[in-house]
Amino acid sequence: MEKLREKLATLRAEIDAANERADTAEQALKQLEDQQTDRDQELISYQNRIRRLEDEAQMREDQLDEAKQFQRDNEATLNESDVLVKKVTTLEERFDDTESKLREALEKIRAYDLENEGLQRTITQYEKDKEIAEQKYEEMNEKYLASKSELDETIKMLESM
């Protein structure tokens, strides 16, 4: 009878430990899902920023094209050549500024892409960890159910004595 009580105490301890591990796995899973949501929102933010930068670059290129067209149209007028030279110089300076900003934007885009790749790898790892945690949870749950069944059978057997 004492051995049976010890066995029951051991089974209860195993059940408690399994429940605690299952709770820990569920908490870890919740945390991973929260991190995944945060990463998704961050990715969307980066994509929106990239889109805005690309639109701005396109707008700058259009402005440059317009400026170049303006320059070609006004070259025929010799009296306005000084004015045109000044405008061209101003536009070239603006172009250089825009080109510089575009380079910076492209560098930022590349950096975001690299960061995005790193985040994707992290997400993939979290998903793998999640699957492993779920498998462990299922195994612990099966062990728990088996232990519970064994405990119920033992209790029935004791009651029948």
Q: Does residue 141 register a pLDDT over 70? A: yes
Q: What percent of the chain is helix, strand and coil (3-state, nearest 5)? A: 95, 0, 5
CA 20 to centroid of chain Cα atoms:
29
**Backbone phi and psi for residue 148, each to the nearest 5 degrees, phi listed first:** -65, -45
Q: How sure is the predictor about 159, in pLDDT bands with cuts at 50, 70 and 90?
A: confident
Tokens 């029951």 belong to residue? 8
What's the number of CA atoms in the CB half-sphere (13 Å) around residue 24?
Answer: 8
Judged by DSSP in three states, 103 sits in helix
Above pLDDT 70, what percent of the chain?
96
What's the number of CA atoms in the CB half-sphere (13 Å) around residue 123?
Answer: 17
